[in-house]
């Protein structure tokens, strides 16, 4: 049986952000009101029966939980192609969510999410770039094999 271990800097970034996503997702599933407070949304004491805000928060939290699991499993499997795919889409998330705040559709506290996404994209992208450059340097140092 192969021992589970993190084998690259990019995998460490995915593991770190995956754990955060999983924890926040679990918290949002169990206590959606906490997520409303963290994000700066009002949480009225009484909600009409047709208000499904908390349900929506729980559904979103389940997505966060699942993404956390994907990131963690990807980190242990060292799925660098998957890591690479996340970088531009985390940038898209940053752009869309920041636009929601700038246009007044979300409170300023909501900026925590896009900042977290952009930070993760930058960390993972830089780690992947470092690893690619390190591999190139190592390949250039290897003696050329010749066949006679």
pLDDT band for position 121 (cuts 50, 70, 90): very high
pLDDT digits (tens, 9 = 90+) for 29-40: 999 999 999 888
The kind and range of the H/E element at 65 are helix 53-77
pLDDT digits (tens, 9 = 90+) for 44-96: 877 888 889 999 999 999 999 999 999 999 999 999 999 999 999 999 999 99
The three-state secondary structure class of 93 is helix
- Give the per-residue pLDDT at 44: 80
Which residues have C-beta within 8 Å of that of residue 60, sequence separation ≥ 6? 28, 35
Has residue 1 got a pLDDT over 70? no
- Give the per-residue pLDDT at 146: 59
pTM, two decimals, is 0.86
Extents of the domains making up the chain: 9-42+54-139
Mean pLDDT of 101-124: 96
The kind and range of the H/E element at 27 are helix 9-30
- Give the per-residue pLDDT at 47: 81
- Give the per-residue pLDDT at 142: 77
Has residue 148 got a pLDDT over 70? no
Tell me the average pLDDT of the chain. Answer: 92
Q: Give the C-alpha separation, 61 to 29, whole Å.
A: 6
- Give the per-residue pLDDT at 3: 75
- Give the per-residue pLDDT at 46: 79
């Amino acid at each position: 049986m192969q021992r589970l271990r993190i084998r690259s800097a990019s995998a460490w970034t995915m593991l770190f952000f995956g754990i955060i996503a999983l924890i926040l997702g679990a918290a949002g599933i169990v206590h959606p009101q906490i997520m409303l407070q963290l994000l700066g949304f009002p949480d009225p004491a009484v909600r009409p029966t047709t208000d499904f805000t908390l349900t929506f928060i729980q559904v979103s939290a389940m997505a966060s939980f699942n993404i956390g699991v994907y990131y963690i499993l990807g980190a242990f499997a060292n799925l660098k192609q998957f890591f690479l795919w996340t970088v531009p889409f985390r940038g898209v998330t940053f752009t869309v969510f920041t636009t929601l705040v700038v246009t007044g559709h979300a409170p300023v506290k909501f900026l925590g999410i896009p900042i977290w996404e952009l930070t993760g994209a930058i960390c993972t992208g830089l780690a992947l770039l470092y690893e690619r450059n390190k591999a190139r340097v190592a390949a250039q140092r290897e003696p050329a094999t010749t066949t006679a």
